[in-house]
Amino acid sequence: MKYIDEYRDARIAHGLVAEIARRVTRPWVLMEICGGQTHTIMRYGLDELLPPEIELVHGPGCPVCVTPLETIDRAIRIAAHPDVTFVSYGDMLRVPGSESDLFRVKAAGGDVRVVYSPVEALKIARAMPERRVVFFGIGFETTAPANAKAVWQAKREGLRNFSMLASHVLVPPAMRLLLRSPHNRVQGFIAPGHVCTVMGYREYEELVREFHVPIVVGGFEPLDLLEAIRMLVEQLEAGRADAENQYARSVSYVGNVPAQRIMEEVYEVCDRKWRGVGLIPQSGLRLRAEYAAFDAERVFDVGDSCAEEPPECISALVLQGLKKPVDCPVFGGRCTPENPLGAPMVSAEGACAAYYQYRRHAIQGEARRG
């Protein structure tokens, strides 16, 4: 496939691996932030191709995985209202809340619908003025601009039956939290290419300076990731720490300025709880007061709740790169994509789902032999 196959060329991949092996002289722990990158690493076995000195750990960049349990519970309560049509991306439906999920609300007769963009949610609201249409707006800086635009458009049209349950999060504050942790092992980051397509990569320079940690913006194809790893190893071996851009075909230094403007217009930065990780200061986006009439949290009196993860689920450690999914005692047993105990097993970008999809047979084979 044009523009895809070029980035999956096995000969070039082996060349990059050989170059990494030539340069590396000591162990390095690298983290890819984005769950999409984790899936590429698992799918193509990139971690197994690399020299043993390079350890890849998986970061918190799966939007479904970090949406707090309390927000899922709130979504479930709103979706259960008889006059509400609740509209969401598909993978949110199976994410377990503390007692239920959106699929069960749908199965019980709730009007829960799957869409592929917020524009579809607006269309539903226009077509059904008698219903209260609530869009579940989650994700990182990648999805935030389109969701902001939908809210902006609803206000412009006076579409008063539309609102958004917003749970947006920002990548740099999460990286800062990881780097400040006394348990941090990460020595270099592959920054998320899609987020940086929107935001650029200048905001990562502050982290580079503060923590003397190299950050390379990486794409999502195998060659993108191997090249980003090569760039990180080059910096680490030379004792350098810079913000660099491997994904130059999509990412510029300043990013997509019109997208940043609409985010600025509609959202303000707030403290946000991340599922498994806890409260991260200034790591979220919420609707500004001018958009209160479109903010489902204010429109619906769903209140505050405090919910706990199932005790077996170690997703907090997985999302911080401190454990691998296979370290979880219930991985592939009591927790599978069909019966997920935690969000990382549900999402198409979750690390547990990636290991289950691409490594399960090898892991189970090893367990049988052991």
Residues forming contacts to ligand SF4 in the complex (CB under 6 A) are 312-315, 318, 325, 328, 330-331, 335, 341-342, 344-345, 352
Are 57 and 263 spatial neighbours (Cβ–Cβ below 8 Å)?
A: no
- Residue 325: CB minimum distance to ligand SF4, A: 5
- Give 174 or 318: the residue with its C-beta nearer to ligand SF4: 318
Q: For residue 141, which of 290, 264, 58, 289 has the smallest C-alpha distance?
A: 264
How far is it, in rounded angstroms, from Cα 273 to Cα 218?
26
- Residue 136: CB minimum distance to ligand SF4, A: 20
Residues whose CB is less than 8 angstroms from the CB of residue 277 and which lie 6 or more positions away in sequence, other chains included:
60, 66, 174, 177, 316, 319, 320
Residue facing ligand SF4 at closest CB distance = 342
- Residue 65: CB minimum distance to ligand SF4, A: 8
Alpha helices (H) in the chain, listed in sequence order: 10-23, 35-44, 46-49, 63-66, 69-79, 102-107, 118-127, 144-157, 171-180, 193-199, 204-211, 222-238, 257-266, 296-299, 315-319, 351-369
Are 201 and 253 spatial neighbours (Cβ–Cβ below 8 Å)?
A: yes
Q: What is the largest CA-CA distance in the chain?
A: 66
Q: Are strands 215-218 and 188-192 parallel, antiparallel or unpaired?
A: parallel
- Give 60 or 137: the residue with its C-beta nearer to ligand SF4: 60
Q: For residue 87, which of 127, 131, 129, 118 has the smallest C-alpha distance?
A: 118
DSSP string, 212-280: T--EEEE-SSHHHHHHHHHHHHHHHHHT---EEES-TTT--SS--HHHHHHHHHHEEEEEEEETTTEEE
- Give 39 or 132: the residue with its C-beta nearer to ligand SF4: 39
- Residue 66: CB minimum distance to ligand SF4, A: 13
- Residue 339: CB minimum distance to ligand SF4, A: 9
- Give 199 or 313: the residue with its C-beta nearer to ligand SF4: 313
- Residue 314: CB minimum distance to ligand SF4, A: 5
- Give 68 or 118: the residue with its C-beta nearer to ligand SF4: 68
Q: Are strands 215-218 and 243-245 parallel, antiparallel or unpaired?
A: parallel
- Residue 327: CB minimum distance to ligand SF4, A: 8
Q: Residue with structure tokens 């790893």?
A: 229
- Give 37 or 246: the residue with its C-beta nearer to ligand SF4: 37
**DSSP one-letter code for 322:** S
- Residue 335: CB minimum distance to ligand SF4, A: 3
Strand partners, 286: 268
- Give 300 or 358: the residue with its C-beta nearer to ligand SF4: 358
- Give 28 or 356: the residue with its C-beta nearer to ligand SF4: 356
